[in-house]
Structure 1
Amino acid sequence: MSLLEIRDLRVTYGSGAAAVPAVRGVGLSLAAGRKLGIAGESGCGKSTLALALLRLLPASARLSGEILLDGEDVLTMRWGRLRAVRWAGASIVFQGAMHSLNAVRRIGDQIAEPILLHSGATPGAARSRVGELLAQVGLPDGRADAYPHELSGGQRQRVMIAMALACDPRLIVADEPTTALDVMIQAQILRLIGGLVTERDLGLLMISHDLAVLADVCDRLAVMYAGRVVEEGPARDVYAAGLHPYGQALSAAFPRVGDPGSRRAPRGLPGDPPDPAALPPGCAFHPRCPVAVPVCAREEQELTGDGHRAACVRPGPSRPSGPPGRPS
């Protein structure tokens, strides 16, 4: 049994004629000890998917499908059971640690709060656990008395990771955990997260717009566009030999180390993802696709393939030269 199984998940905001589809029929799975990356541009549904996993979306959101965490459907849980699952069963590392931490409370108290709430530990035991967690993420115990503004960006992100680990969850969802960090601190944080997943047999679902980061950290990678998964497979294969033109364009947008041509002229993708309230007919990507054919404007493709799947009428690594195709 998978640790996390997402089946035909659909999320819309609003209702009736004004309903806006943000996630459209997503199906993914994640086993314990494995790392799944979710990539895509802003507005493609990544964060909505992450928040849906623990029903953290606003009241205007409507969800359908199944989100099975250790075989139990999060979408049908009663409120009391859901509160127990949050932190203890699954936790989230939000992007922007400065905005997620309480600016007027010491970080030790913030890390201890879920421990006291979910484990029934004494204040002394919770304080001892805080010291252990800070050590795990590479911070001295003395920093427990600091306020968030007294820490660097990388240290605050480490605090967020410590909080996510506080109640020994089985699943960690990391939503753009390194977006605001410099490249050196980003590398440290990513090594830290990857090491903890392996050592503690956790499941990690990591969201980013950066395919290169996800390919380096994750085992498998799913690419989202306009609320759907358009490609999914082994992370390095999706990054280096994508089957869908959108995944190829994301990969080509990043300069390659040792490739002067890609550094001087990285190939991006013109335009923006469509407005979810006004999706084009057929494949939502076809207005931006360099290899679209007439059927793309009429029919939306389903994921096909074995191991490495793509939702494309012409899946394959061979594309015409020029932007936004994959690098040669």
Structure 2
Amino acid sequence: MTLLELDDLSVTYRIASGEVPAVRGVSLKLDSGAALGVAGESGSGKSTLAMALLRLLPRDARVGGRILLDGEDILTMKWGRMRAVRWAEASIVFQGAQHGLNPVRRIGDQIAEPLLVHNLAKPDQAGKRVAELLEQVGLPTWRARSYPHELSGGQRQRVMIAMALACKPRLIIADEPTTALDVMVQAQVLTLIKELIAEQNISLVMISHDLSVLADVCDQLAVMYAGRVVEHGPSREVFHEAKHPYTGALAAAFPTVGDPVSRLAPKGLGGDPPDPMDLPTGCSFHPRCPVALEECASLDVELWPAGDSRTAACVHVRAKEEAS
């Protein structure tokens, strides 16, 4: 059963010098209990997409298309209905827990706030639910009396996850939840996220630049470049057998543990992402693509079937499929 569907989603920012297309015609689906990863470099549009899912974009953003949550379009919801959806039906774990928590309020009060706002607990009952949530994310219950500055980065991120779980939503959006953490703490938080999703049958949209993390946590993976999805399919297949040159370059940028060759001579992707206000003609990736053809400068290929349950926006993929 489809829980979340993006239908031709577009987001454009209006600034003094013109309009900046951040997300361009993205269509994706997420089933109940499944996990979707969205990957890409900085500026690819993945965080803008995440914020659009709960209408958290600034006022200068113009959003088009549809965002259907259980068949109901988030973009046309009245404000009262939108407030009811946030936290109770869909919640978000922000990228920086240090900035997502109020520094002058105790942790327990902040976790309890969505419960009280949505009338899911009375003030004298909220403490019990807060204790349950802290235990779920691996923190001692006495931490409810702590302030954010008294916690480590990993502990603060666990608090953000507890807040997201407070109202038992069906969908959680995680915008690079482990970026600011060291490798060991990152692994612990990712393990926690996977366990909670499995135990509580929660759907997940996870944003990251790290394909290896998404391949480990998510069922499906969508790779974005210049505001568009350029490849989509089962996460491990996309990570290990990329069909689009951009996806392959992102995957190759990670060194292989125990392989000195990959460590001393890492592969990567030359150049910088394009300026959204001055996108190249044809395929937006062609100026950086190692296998670009002459036609790539003028032909803008849409997502094309690339095997079982896979799509990729590449002229090479289209040529192979047409030949087979």
Partner Cα distance (1:178, 1:15) in 2: 31
Deviations 1:259-315 (A, max 9, x none): 322121110111111111111111110000011111111121111114111000002
Deviations 1:119-149 (A, max 9, x none): 2421121111100000000001100000000
Partner Cα distance (1:15, 1:46) in 2: 20
1:304 and 2:308 correspond: no
Deviations 1:50-106 (A, max 9, x none): 000000000000001010111110001000000000000101100110011000100
Tell me the number of residue pairs that the alignment of Structure 1 and Structure 2 aligns. Answer: 317
Using the TM superposition, give the Cα deviation of residue 16 of structure 1 relative to its aligned residue in structure 2, in angstroms: 10
Report if aligned partners of 2:120, 2:167 keep a CA contact under 8 Å in 1.
no
Runs of 4+ that moved beyond 3 A: none
Q: Which position in structure 2 is the counterpart of 1:71? A: 71
Q: Which position in structure 2 is the counterpart of 1:146? A: 146
Counterparts of 1:94-113 in structure 2, within 5 Å, are 94-113=94-113
Deviations 1:135-172 (A, max 9, x none): 00000110000000000110000000000001111100
Alignment partner for residue 317 of structure 2, among 291, 294, 315? 315
2:86 aligns to what SS in structure 1?
helix
Q: Which position in structure 2 is the counterpart of 1:44? A: 44
Using the TM superposition, give the Cα deviation of residue 5 of structure 1 relative to its aligned residue in structure 2, in angstroms: 0.5
Q: Which position in structure 1 is the counterpart of 2:182? A: 182
Partner Cα distance (1:290, 1:222) in 2: 21
Using the TM superposition, give the Cα deviation of residue 18 of structure 1 relative to its aligned residue in structure 2, in angstroms: 1.2
Structure 1 vs Structure 2 CA RMSD: 1.4
Partner Cα distance (1:153, 1:77) in 2: 35
Deviations 1:23-67 (A, max 9, x none): 000011111111111110000001000000000000000001010
1:149 aligns to what SS in structure 2?
helix
Partner Cα distance (2:152, 2:253) in 1: 30
Partner Cα distance (1:168, 1:176) in 2: 21
Bigger mean CA deviation after superposition, 12-21 or 153-162 = 12-21
Using the TM superposition, give the Cα deviation of residue 15 of structure 1 relative to its aligned residue in structure 2, in angstroms: 7.3
Counterparts of 1:84-123 in structure 2, within 5 Å, are 84-123=84-123
Q: Which amino acid aligns with 1:243?
A: K
Report if aligned partners of 1:119, 1:167 keep a CA contact under 8 Å in 2.
no
2:118 aligns to what SS in structure 1?
helix
Q: Which position in structure 1 is the counterpart of 2:251? A: 251
Partner Cα distance (2:15, 2:259) in 1: 49
Using the TM superposition, give the Cα deviation of residue 257 of structure 1 relative to its aligned residue in structure 2, in angstroms: 2.3
1:287 aligns to what SS in structure 2?
coil
Q: Which position in structure 2 is the counterpart of 1:261? A: 261
Partner Cα distance (2:213, 2:36) in 1: 12
Using the TM superposition, give the Cα deviation of residue 216 of structure 1 relative to its aligned residue in structure 2, in angstroms: 1.0
TM, length-normalised to structure 2: 0.95
Partner Cα distance (1:215, 1:264) in 2: 24
1:273 and 2:273 correspond: yes
Question: Gaps (5+ residues) in structure 1?
Answer: 319-328
TM, length-normalised to structure 1: 0.94
